[in-house]
Amino acid sequence: MFGEVIQRDFSRFKNPRNIVNLCFIVVFIFSTVLTWREAVVLEGAYVANQRNSLDNVATLLDRQLQHNIDNLLFYRNTMFYALQSPISTDRTRKSLAEFDLLRTEAFWQLRLDLNRSLPVNGVSDEFVNSNPLLDRNDQTVHTELSSALELSYIMRLSDRSRTLPQRIFYASRSGFFLTNTPSANDPKIISLYQRLISQPYFSSQSPQNNPSRALRWTHTFDANSTTGQIITAAIPLDFNGRWYGILAFDYPIDSLHDFLQQAKYDDHEGTVLLYDNELNPIATSAQQLPKHELFTAPQLAQIASVVTAAKPGEQGELRMDSRFITWAKLNNFDGLLVKVHTLEEGVQGEFGRISIVLSVLWMLFTLMLVVSWIVIRRLVNNMFSLQKTLTWRANYDTLTRLYNRGAFFEIAQKLSQECKQQAQPFSVIQMDLDLFKSINDRFGHNSGDKVLAHAAAMLSDAFRQGDVAGRVGGEEFCIVLPDTTLEEAVKVAERIRVRINTKDLLLKQGNITRISASFGVSSAQEFNDYDFERLQSHADHRLYKAKQDGRNRVCSHD
């Protein structure tokens, strides 16, 4: 059963049309799979390229930030060690004495060395006492001030050329501050200090608010200064269980913006954006921040969910609409670097051009494949119909559409042998048109052909299913009748004779004629012989007798 199914399926493929279809399908699948593979490799390279490109910016930015954080930690250590073992010099003692005199003034400034140190700016005892967050402790304030004066030397020396434009400062709870962007000794000191201690980065560094005492980034905020929006990183300074103040640096957002703009991108490389820890865009490699939101609220939520789970330094990518998003969580910044690559930019870029060439090549190949499939299918179809015609012509007579002599003899012999094997009767009718020559002579050869075709049609209509007829000579026909006795065959011959003889036939130029035929019938039972050729010879002999007896009759005996 299974074998039959396989054989049937296999034989279906022997048909050249199916083989051609199969071959083309295989070539098409193969080419599509190859192109698909190329596309997958290309996509992998594209993703790696996008990641690398963002990684370069992330590494650069991280390095800059690391430098600043290192500076901050270095300054904290300086303060820490100075608090532990303060250096007492004439100059510091003088400055501290000066502080004791000035501490009740609304604002004041101490400076050890005009050229080599930065000024320490302070506010009055009254100001400090009015703010519960502040505490000017008489036990520690001198040590802290001398430490700050020491730091002012180092801060003054620090090289700012390698860093992003920034402000580094120490804001003390004891009512003074030190910054690398010094100001004059004027009332502005009060407002500057007021601004430092009222910002969230100051209060958030209290032991209650920052129990881990780690560095913390703010989100962007308006510093209410000429610098516009800024972002700040701060660490607390603790010593001997006392929270002294904070060391911090801040960047104007513009400087981060400039930094990203300097990262080299060609026009098709997409846009890099820096987001703060509240996922607000703060800087971009484009000319300016996008006027409308780049991401919808659900998209932002999707980014947030992916990024929250990520560790610092981790990278990833997302597909949003037609855009390819690469993100990197920085090691030294509490925010996110995002690269947005639009489809349009992608198409214009190198990978886009390669993808287009690949798609066009695939389409061309497929088109050529389809065209050649159509051509080959047509060739195969033509070949098939030619083969069919040739086969038909080899077996049939084109005029009468009956079997020709060769094919008929072959079939007749086969049928006679089958009847012999099954011990069935078998009969043969030999038929010849009467005086056919005179039709040719009177009406022409074409009319003679028409008569032959007509006689064959009469013949075909009259015999039964299973009987086979053939044209065995010019106007001679033979019919074999399996499983038919002589009597039955005579009846069939008689029926044919009547049919032929009762129909008028319209010939050339309106001539109507009626034809007749003579029949000789023989059967295998009579002679106990199933050899077709011999039976046909007997029938032919009886046909001759029928002609002799006056034509238009059936003869079944010698």
Ligand X SMILES: Nc1nc2c(ncn2[C@@H]2O[C@H](COP(=O)(O)OP(=O)(O)OP(=O)(O)O)[C@@H](O)[C@H]2O)c(=O)[nH]1
Q: Catalytic positions, please?
A: 475
Both structure tokens of 217: 């980034």
Can residue 547 be called a binding residue for ligand X (CB under 6 A)? yes
Rg of the chain over Cα atoms, rounded to whole angstroms, equals 55
Residue whose token pair is 């104007």: 252
Q: Which is nearer to ligand X, 61 or 455 (CB)?
A: 455
Mask of contacts with ligand X, 68-97, x by CB under 6 A? ------------------------------
Who's near 86: CB < 8 A, 6+ residues apart? 92, 143, 146, 147, 150
Who's near 196: CB < 8 A, 6+ residues apart? 169, 171, 177, 202
| 3 state DSSP class of 339 | strand
Mask of contacts with ligand X, 475-494, x by CB under 6 A? x-------------------
Provide the minimum distance between the beta carbon of 517 and ligand X in the complex, in angstroms, as a whole number.
9
Residue whose token pair is 């910002």: 199
Number of residues that bind ligand X (CB under 6 A): 15
Mask of contacts with ligand X, 33-72, x by CB under 6 A? ----------------------------------------
Candidate list 119, 335, 352, 448; residue touching ligand X; CB under 6 A: 448
Provide the minimum distance between the beta carbon of 437 and ligand X in the complex, in angstroms, as a whole number.
3
Provide the minimum distance between the beta carbon of 553 and ligand X in the complex, in angstroms, as a whole number.
12
**Amino acid identity for residue 17 in this structure:** R
| 3 state DSSP class of 137 | coil
- What b-and-e string marks burial along 29-47, b requiring 16 or more CB atoms within 10 Å of the CB? eeeeeebeeeeeeeeeebe
Who's near 146: CB < 8 A, 6+ residues apart? 82, 86, 87, 88, 92, 95, 96
Q: Which is nearer to ligand X, 192 or 433 (CB)?
A: 433
Provide the minimum distance between the beta carbon of 528 and ligand X in the complex, in angstroms, as a whole number.
30
Determine contact, residues 543/556, Cβ cutoff 8 Å.
Answer: no
Determine contact, residues 250/230, Cβ cutoff 8 Å.
Answer: yes
Can residue 474 be called a binding residue for ligand X (CB under 6 A)? yes
Can residue 453 be called a binding residue for ligand X (CB under 6 A)? no
The stretch near ligand X (CB under 6 A) out of 145-153, 163-171, 176-184, 426-434 is 426-434
Provide the minimum distance between the beta carbon of 545 and ligand X in the complex, in angstroms, as a whole number.
12
Q: Which is nearer to ligand X, 294 or 517 (CB)?
A: 517
| 3 state DSSP class of 316 | strand
Candidate list 345, 434, 467, 540; residue touching ligand X; CB under 6 A: 434
* Segments in 405-470 forming alpha helices (H): 405-421, 436-443, 445-462
Candidate list 177, 193, 436, 532; residue touching ligand X; CB under 6 A: 436
Give residues in contact with ligand X (CB under 6 A): 432-437, 440, 445, 448-449, 452, 474-475, 547, 551
